[in-house]
Amino acid sequence: MRNKIAFLLFLVLISASACTIPAHKKAAEDNYRSKYPYTVLGEDYGLLTEDDVAISSCIAHPSPFSLQESSPHPYWQCFSLSGSAFECEEADENEEGRTAILAVVLKKDGITNDYLSRRAIPLDACNSHKDDWVRLTSNQKFVCISGGLINDDSDKMYRSWIFESYKTAKGCDSYFQGGCNLAHKIQNGCNLAIMAQPAP
């Protein structure tokens, strides 16, 4: 009996240590939340950096999150990868050939969250993003993803978002080239001193 109790206590300790965020990452999180108080919704599991969060301000001025209004500001939120999916939903052909809507499907608190590309993109490009998704999420527990809210239909347990980028402990991928790199954004005209100010 004592051995069983000791074993159960060991499992609890292991589980707790696996979920603990190192002190330096927690300090970094506190720092970026003070600078960008609106951008991260919920826990980040130690995955995000200040640069990750700052990139959202390069895309659109931050504003308090509201389910009642769509927003161009890409909010970060993090999900368990359990039950997640990456889909390339084929659309019409055009001059570029076969196209698809990129869709990342994640669930939290019983609500399905669809992160969708702005438009149909070449099917080959979507499949390339899908390959990156498989590589970056393999053997990972959590993913953080950013996007602006398009529509909230909580009554039907559904929300849709514009897909910007996602990140795991293995790395980051984004809709736009350079979308995971703050230096790239700044070199291409992002003025954080202005853009990080709340939306008027």
The pLDDT value given to residue 5: 44
pTM of the predicted model as reported, rounded to 2 decimal places: 0.85
Q: pLDDT tens for residues 170-191?
A: 999 999 999 999 999 999 999 9
Percent over 70 (pLDDT), the chain: 88
Considering just the CA atoms, what is the radius of gyration of the chain in Å? 19
Question: Of 86, 97, 152, which is closest to residue 121 (Cα–Cα)?
Answer: 97
Identify which has the larger pLDDT, 96 or 127.
127
The pLDDT value given to residue 114: 98
Question: Of 75, 84, 67, 70, which is closest to residue 155 (Cα–Cα)?
Answer: 67
Q: Give every CB contact of residue 67 below 8 A, 6+ residues apart in sequence.
A: 149, 152, 154, 159
